[in-house]
Amino acid sequence: MAYYGGMTDSLSDLIACPKCDALHRVPDVDIGAQARCVRCGTVLMAPKDGAMTRIVMLSVTALILMVAAVFFPFLELSVQGLGRKSSVFDAVLAFSDGLMLPLSVAVAALIVVLPVFRFVALIYVFAPMALGWTPAPRAKTVFKLAESVRPWAMAEIFIIGVAVALVKVAGLAQVTLGPAFWAFVGLVIITVLKDNFMCRVTVWQTLNARSPS
């Protein structure tokens, strides 16, 4: 974009709201404060102190919890002396025969693969920057991909699904929650915290400022 050299310099003082196109002059926002779009209220900038370090730490914690959540027993069911423990891994495999295979793949993607991808991608993008290094190669592409995957990472919805399932089998059998359930709840809380530290426009501006041209 060096071709537009002079023009981009003045244009970089402006910001267009991604949701409604309203034009703003890039505001000076204090750490911890927010700038919202005057027209639609979308958060345009929300710089936070140490946000990148916190995103990296929360993502690492989330990854560890995810490993525990997937392989430890999630729920234990018992009826008349018969018991069955199942993990998230089993829930994923529940649909693995015949017609249900695509559903199995989808459930695995929504509750395990895509959340893990997001955590890894965010660590890749933010860890070098948190250390003050220049962004990793292709950091922009990876961040864009991580953002586009965001609506499809459904760990928190899965937790509500578990609650509903518990009520449904309550009459049929006795159910106990396993350690993986609590790991998963922790994972959801951390995901919400982490997403709170991220403001897309701020991230892009930082990525751009620190990238070698």
Q: Taking a C-beta distance cutoff of 8 angstroms, is the pair 191, 69 a contact?
A: no
Q: How far is CA 103 from CA 95, 107, 118, 148, 179, in A?
A: 6, 6, 21, 21, 26
Distance between alpha carbon 122 and the CA centroid of its chain, in Å? 8
Report the residue number, 1 or 172, with the smaller CB distance to Zn ion. 1
Distance from C-alpha of 5 to C-alpha of 11, rounded to nearest angstrom: 10
Indicate which single residue of 32, 49, 99, 132 sits in contact with other proteins (rule: CB under 8 A).
Answer: 99
Instruction: For the segment 168-187, give every residue that binds other proteins (CB under 8 A).
Output: 168-173, 175
Distance from C-alpha of 120 to C-alpha of 60, rounded to nearest angstrom: 8
Under the binding rule (CB under 5 A), the answer on residue 7 touching Zn ion is no
Instruction: For the segment 8-47, give every residue that binds Zn ion (CB under 5 A).
Output: 17, 19-20, 22, 37, 39-40, 42
Distance from C-alpha of 36 to C-alpha of 24, rounded to nearest angstrom: 10
| Cβ 45 to other proteins shortest distance, Å | 9
Binding mask 57-96 for other proteins (x = CB under 8 A): ------------------x-x-xx-x-x-x---xxxxxx-
Under the binding rule (CB under 8 A), the answer on residue 212 touching other proteins is no
Under the binding rule (CB under 8 A), the answer on residue 21 touching other proteins is yes
Report the residue number, 37 or 190, with the smaller CB distance to other proteins. 37
| Cβ 206 to other proteins shortest distance, Å | 11
Report the residue number, 56 or 142, with the smaller CB distance to other proteins. 142
Under the binding rule (CB under 8 A), the answer on residue 192 touching other proteins is no
Binding mask 41-70 for Zn ion (x = CB under 5 A): -x----------------------------
C-alpha angle 124-127-132 in degrees, rounded to nearest 5: 135
Distance from C-alpha of 27 to C-alpha of 24, rounded to nearest angstrom: 8
Report the residue number, 132 or 209, with the smaller CB distance to other proteins. 209
**Contact partners, residue 62, CB within 8 Å, separation at least 6:** 115, 119, 187, 190, 191, 194
